[in-house]
Structure 1
Amino acid sequence: MLIALNKPMNRLSQFTDEGRWQGLSGLDLPKGVYAAGRLDRDSEGLLLLTDDGRLQARITSARVEKSYLALVEGRISAGALAQLRIGVELKDGPTRPAGAEAIDPPALWERDPPVRVRKTVPDSWLRLDLREGRNRQVRRMCAAVGFPCLRLVRWRIGNVLVDGLEPGQWREVDPADLGLSGPGGKRAGPRPTRR
């Protein structure tokens, strides 16, 4: 079984609550599934859950491309996008090259709590496509090129999109929808719609 969940903001990627933060229990998920990877508490979007340990390992491998939509503070520059594409130096070493593109604001659900808007500071959206998954990597990459992340949404894992799911909603998906072909996993899939 493979479940695509739109993890809400301020929820943990585990079933048990921790302190004041809620886990995934209470979202009426099937019994016996566990997260294949994680999203930070303050990140939103696609989280895959499965009851298949082998599939879980394949999803979390660096072979499966994941796309993130990031709202950053400031007008993203061509130079910053170029740096993200070739890789940036983080405290735990350089990142792999990534897909990085400025995009129009995507049609997303309302965030709770909403992003704090500062009228004197512009913001912009970008899409990052990664094949690695370090702790808070997208946020650290954006900060490293001078554009702090204000909102982060995982949009895609392999060929599975979060599109159509409201926060807290989930649907069962066919593992073949991931687009994995053999042990290497082949990248493909639609891009977020520009609006």
Structure 2
Amino acid sequence: MEKVMPAVVNVMKEEATLVTLIKPQFEVPRSQALKDLPRENVQLTTKFGIVKMEPTQVVVKDTVEYVNSCCEASLKHLGVDYIDRYYVHRIDTSVPIEETMRELMKLVEEGKIKYIGLSEASPNTIRRAHVVHSIIALQMEYSFLTQEIEEEIIPLLHVNVIYILGYFEGVTNNDVEKVVMEKKLILLNKRPGNTSSGSAA
């Protein structure tokens, strides 16, 4: 098992972005790793929605036609009959999320995907999407440096039983040191008997 698991992990990590771009040269080789394992033992995750990434913008497309074309392409390239978790990689604000979700719901009913996920979605989008069909998970940037989603999104996910799939961008040593120092100051100011405001008298 130790020899094949890394390949499966790569499929779940790397194809999440590569599938979005519909590049069979990345998916087809990974389909060989899937053939070496019982399909029921593999949790396959992929995404769709980003047409291309440019230095100044990300081109997003969540139309009904694109949802279908991406799904069919991924099934073919990976050599599987279904995808376990299918994520909307980015939200296309020109397309009502309800339309995208209804098409994804059809894919669930057809057995081509098992669960639907969202990525980088606002609280309002999550609510609207979840009304159409249940959301299994939400992918958001979430780390000790970026905790803004704890204010509104995390409680929303808790109420609706939606899992959080956190990720974080590159972190430098300076970032870590800054956060550690801030945490230390907070803890020091909270000590019993400490009435200092943190500034010189």
TM-score of the aligned structures, taking structure 1 as reference length: 0.26
Normalized per residue, the structure richer in helix is: 2
Pair member with larger Rg = 2
**Which structure has more strand as a fraction of its residues?**
1
TM-score if structure 2 supplies the norm length? 0.25
Structure with more relative contact order (C-alpha pairs < 8 Å, separation 6 or more): 1
